[in-house]
Amino acid sequence: MNGISRRAFIAGSTAFAGVALAAPHAFAQARESAFLQAQVDAGTLPAVAARLPENPLVITPWEKVGAQGGDWNHALVGGGSASMLVRYQGYDPLVRFTADWSGIETNVAESYDVNADATQYTIKLRKGHKWSDGVPFTTADVQFWYDAYFTDKETNQAGNIWWSAGGEVAKIEVVDEQTFKVLFAAPNGFFMQQMAWADQDQLVRCPKHYLEKFHIRYNPDADKLAKAAGLESWIALFQQEIGYLDTNVYFQNTKRPALTAWTFTGEGASALGQDTQTTIAVRNPYYHKVDTEGTQLPYFDRIVYQMVADPEVLLLKTLQGEIDMMDQYIGTPTNKPVLFDGQESGKFGFYTLKETAANVMAFQLNLNHLDKTKRELFNNIEFRRALSAGIDRQALIDAVFVGQGSPAQASMREGDPLYNEQLAKQYTEFDADKANAMLDAILPNKDGEGYRTDAEGRRVAIIFEIDQTRTTFLDMFELAIPMFQAMGIDAQMRTMDRSLWETRVRRGREYDATAHQFGANSGIAAMLDPRFYVPINNNCFYAPGWALYFTQPDNADAIEPPAEVKAQQDLYRKLVATADPAEQQKVMTQVLQGAADLFFTFGVSLPADGYGVVKNNMVNVLKEMPNSFGWPTPGPARPEQFFKS
């Protein structure tokens, strides 16, 4: 699990490890949930046999069959951490990654078929599958997404680039209520893998019966609804209700039905923002999965998220045994000794996270800065190279990661067939004299305090805006800032709540720089998430305008990149258009070489394996799993079959 076999990944598209298919009506005698029994008895909810699809997905638990009931005690850290929810309760796309990330398997979809040149995908839904409010989920919902959002220029503000090939967007052909085809003008070999990527399958989050009243073509009074909600037009209301642009907005909606194992719309739920102490998701009565004994999943009735202000409070709650299972924000190197000492009293243990990220942290200057002088300086590749050479990475690794790691840029891991030594190692050797000499050639003038001045005579200041919940980032910056200052750069760190960071950085433009992690360091994962190698989406914080140009060149906020960056984007288009594994490897090699030459960002180290914390009474939790956002840990490990003994 250190890497991903490309051949296994492609071949694994039809894998069903741990999954069985049931014959229609095989679960007519499925047991009723005690959590839902009162609603069934009152006649407000059908019996479980009527709630399941005709052919439910049968899950074989990792360790043993469990029982329904109880709470998964969890936490959300900071005001904007709703993006973490896709990891815990929001990962139920049409197809999903296998638990070992060796391929994909059916999930919401009952089956799918791909033609030889990957230009036609035939997808079949489950007959009788229903949204969490009991309304059937059919191809009418798929068609609505395609018409009312994806191809609607007024409502679609997200790229969905994997829905295009050969310069044309895909067409949808509905065959019947359960079957539809996706037709491409050219090969699109990664389409199903992209649909399995975290938070990318919008087809399973677009209930027509709920959303159509907010769209002007389906409801002439949609503008009136918008005005009543205090919004300017139906477009703003529709985008708010569909929730694709902001994860917090998506999960704050307690009315939109879902297909996931737990929702915020059911009886007893408490959505984000309703309570400052806890957020509660409850079991979906119409969830489409059962275990091998016919018990409807999920096992847990509720996920109870404590709203935690910062990682220090999370550490305390974990030591006190209040967290059942978690890795994000808690599994840091500095926490490990404290947690190790407290595991007996807290009644918890650990699981291993196999790191797939391209770097522990990548420094990202805003190459599309609104200030012309800063923009020109940041786009000077020699400036970025100089800053990189002036960072003592080994000092950061020793202090923050207890010596685990070695200096590297955001790159592929050594040993992967796509490894590029230039990309991984250039300008990682600490050389303060060299860094200053390079900067002297670019910014020879200094002010009275020894800081360099720019072309306008202003002190060169770079404010790195950082999500305060990323404690390892904060620790690294405490050491890195004096290193930048020793180069004559007035570097500063501005920390903020996650929600503000999302607004200012992910959805903003008025920032100097930031830092982040993730991406991918091997094989197919890097092809699906090349964020540090080519600007293609809103995870590319070093070039938000160029990334928008890749997906929506006509958007008023898009910025046309220079020729060499456009060439890099064209290479990536060529990559995703091919279905041939050998050609994919060849083109990705070119993408990585281009990234090495363009030097968009500079990193610290490839990550060592991480860890998570799990209570001793939690069952069916894997002892080892990938750590990634694309494979949204622990989502593909099937949280629906977790339970407590």
* Residues 228 and 367 reside in one and the same domain: no
User: Is there a domain that residue 536 lies in?
Assistant: yes
**For position 192, what pLDDT does the model report?**
95
Residue 554 lies in a domain: yes
Q: Rounded distance, CA 137 to CA 238, Å?
A: 20
**Domain final position from 194, 225, 258:** 258
For residue 501, the model assigns a pLDDT of 94
Domain limit, last residue, from 603, 622, 638: 603
132 part of a folded domain:
yes
Q: Which tokens is 181 given?
A: 């085809």
CATH number of the domain at 251, please.
3.90.76.10
For residue 475, tell me if it sits in a domain.
Answer: yes
Residue 12 pLDDT exceeds 50: no
Q: Tell me the mean pLDDT in the region 247-270.
A: 90
How many whole angstroms separate alpha carbon 620 and alpha carbon 283? 18
Task: Tell me the average pLDDT across 223-241.
Answer: 96
In the prediction, which pLDDT does 1 show?
A: 30
Residue 28 has pLDDT above 60, yes or no: no
Residue 238's domain comprises: 109-258
What pLDDT digit, counting tens, does each position of 551-581 carry?
Answer: 889 899 999 999 999 999 999 999 988 878 8
Of 258, 293, 318, which closes a domain?
Answer: 258
Structure tokens at 20: 């069985």
Domain assignment of residue 330, yes or no = no
Q: Which among 269, 263, 303 is positioned nearest to 284, based on CA atoms?
A: 263
Render pLDDT for 51-60 as a digit per residue (tens, 0 to 9). 999 999 999 9
Neighbours of 105 (CB within 10 A): 21
Looking at residue 29, what is its pLDDT? 62
| Collapsed DSSP state (helix, strand, coil) of residue 111 | strand
Q: Look at residue 197 and tell me if it is in a domain.
A: yes
| Rounded mean pLDDT, 40-46 | 96
pLDDT of residue 79: 65
Q: Are residues 222 and 369 in the same domain?
A: no
pTM of the model: 0.82
For residue 247, the model assigns a pLDDT of 84
Looking at the fold, whether 369 and 248 belong to one and the same domain comes out as no
The answer, yes or no, to whether residue 83 has pLDDT greater than 90, is no
Name the burial class of residue 405, with classes exposed (0-12), middle (13-18) and buried (19+) by CB atoms within 10 angstroms of its CB.
Answer: buried
Residue with tokens 């797939």: 356
- Non-local (6+) Cβ contacts of 551 within 8 A are 158, 159, 160, 161, 536, 537
Question: Which segment, 13-17, 20-24, 414-418, is predicted with the most confidence on average?
Answer: 414-418
Question: How many domains in the chain?
Answer: 2
- Which CATH number belongs to the domain containing residue 551 in this structure? 3.10.105.10
Residue 304 inside a domain? The answer is no
CB 385 within 8 A of CB 599: yes
